[in-house]
Amino acid sequence: MMDRVLFTKGHGTGNDFVILPDPDGALDLTPALVAALCDRHRGIGADGVLRVVRSAKHPDGAGFAGDAEWFMDYWNADGSIAEMCGNGVRVYSRYLLSQGLATAGPEGLPVATRAGVVLAVPGELTIAVRMTTPRVYAASTATVGPLTIPGLAVDCGNPHLVTALPDGVDLASLDLHLAPGYDRAVFPEGVNVEFTTSGAPVEDADLHVHMRVYERGSAETLSCGSGALAVGAVALRDAGRETGVVAVDVPGGRLTVTADDRGRWWLAGPAVLLATGEVDAAALS
Ligand SMILES: N[C@@H](CCC[C@H](N)C(=O)O)C(=O)O
């Protein structure tokens, strides 16, 4: 076990990450170390960890090495692994670019994830990512306290359940301190649950949705990029549209989901790097 671990802290709309540079895959990253780093009282504190490793140097990335030099090895705060993190990949791309580890070509910067290769297109403050195509595939429900809320299962590489709150239930009033209930037969690997209400029209978007999320492996977070993608897919489907722009407001800010006329799905929003340092791994409990 290493004594000192280099890290950078960053976030996308308040969904925060500890970024661990590990180009050659030498770090002995374990669920316990991830959980300790993400601990908000005894660690650095984050919703998840992004290990920056060359695709060729990670067993889950090696198959993508011909298409993307870098693999985003994403871990949730509880030490579990996930296939995709939409905010994570935007922050990860910001990190690669800021460190000079990669440059964006005319099509963008390819980044390998467990859900496949995505393409990041950097702006000055925002980063847009061409995500894998979301797939709406089943009806299901979530339970929060006495409420049973209908929703749709959406595969964004990772699993999501997008629910629409019934009239009269206020999004802000939902108690998400405890994990919502869901159907384990539909989601055997667990699920990220999004709660939505529709919003008033906003400039530059065809549709506007408010969302809160309870993430698998991280509890309630201020934002979830793949969750916003799932919400965007359901909103466009409900509106009978195949293309369009959906503004998704989360507690941490605004994400924009675009389905373009070439069948591509984009997730855009801010990606911020805050601090760099060293953590004493022995001091983490
Ligand atoms: N916050 C992320 C999603 C992280 C993974 C998720 N908790 C899971 O287990 O699938 C995002 O921005 O997409």
Are residues 66 and 85 located together in one domain of the fold? Answer: yes
Residues β-bridged to residue 33:
none
- The pLDDT of residue 272 is 98
- Using an 8 Å Cβ cutoff, are 163 and 149 in contact? yes
pLDDT at 1 over 80: no
- What's the CATH code of the domain at 106? 3.10.310.10
Confidence tier at 3 by pLDDT (50, 70, 90): confident
86 Cβ below 6 A of ligand 1: yes
Cβ contacts of 236 within 8 Å, gap of 6 or more: 207, 242, 243, 244, 246, 259
Are both 152 and 81 inside the same structural domain? no
Residue 15 labelled as part of a binding site: yes
Together in a domain, 169 and 246: yes
Q: Report pLDDT digits (tens) over 42-68.
A: 999 999 999 999 999 999 999 999 999
pLDDT (mean) for 184-188? 98
Question: 148 and 162 share a domain?
Answer: yes
Cα dihedral sign, 237-84-141-210: negative
Q: Show which residues are catalytic.
A: 85, 224
Residues 123 and 186 in one domain: no
Contact 39, 45 (CB under 8 A): yes
C-alpha radius of gyration, the chain, whole number: 18
The residue range of the domain holding 255 is 135-262
The verdict on the CB of residue 192 being under 6 Å from ligand 1 is: yes
How many angstroms is it from 86 CA to the middle of ligand 1? 7
pTM to 2 decimal places: 0.98
Q: What mean pLDDT do residues 101-118 have?
A: 97
Same domain, 164 and 92: no
pLDDT band at 141 (very low <50, low <70, confident <90, very high): very high
Q: Is 217 in the pocket of ligand 1 (CB under 6 A)?
A: yes
Contacts 24+ apart (CB under 8 A), 101-109: 101/23, 101/52, 101/70, 102/69, 102/70
Do 145 and 125 fall within a single domain?
Answer: no
Q: Is 85 found in the same domain as 27?
A: yes
**DSSP structure string for 163-177:** EEPPTT--GGG---S
Regarding whether 154 and 106 lie in a shared domain, the answer is no
Give 116 Cα–ligand 1 centroid separation in angstroms: 15
ipTM for the complex shown = 0.99
Q: What is the pLDDT of residues 13-48, one digit of tens each?
A: 999 999 999 999 999 999 999 999 999 999 999 999
86 and 47 in a common domain: yes
The answer on whether 61 is annotated among ligand-binding residues is: no
Domain count along the chain? 2
Report the alpha-carbon distance of residue 123 to residue 125 in Å, rounded.
6
3-state secondary structure of 242: coil
215 lines ligand 1 (CB under 6 A): yes
Residue 158 labeled ligand binder: yes
For the chain, give the mean pLDDT. Answer: 97
Nearest atom in ligand 1 to the alpha carbon of residue 48 is 4
* 88 Cβ below 6 A of ligand 1: yes
204-250: pLDDT as tens digits = 999 999 999 999 999 999 999 999 999 999 999 999 999 999 999 99
Cα 256 to middle of ligand 1, angstroms = 17
DSSP 27: S
174 and 277 housed in the same domain? no
From the CA of 174, how far away is ligand 1's center (Å)?
A: 20
Asked if 215 and 111 sit in the same domain, the reply is no
3-state secondary structure of 111: strand
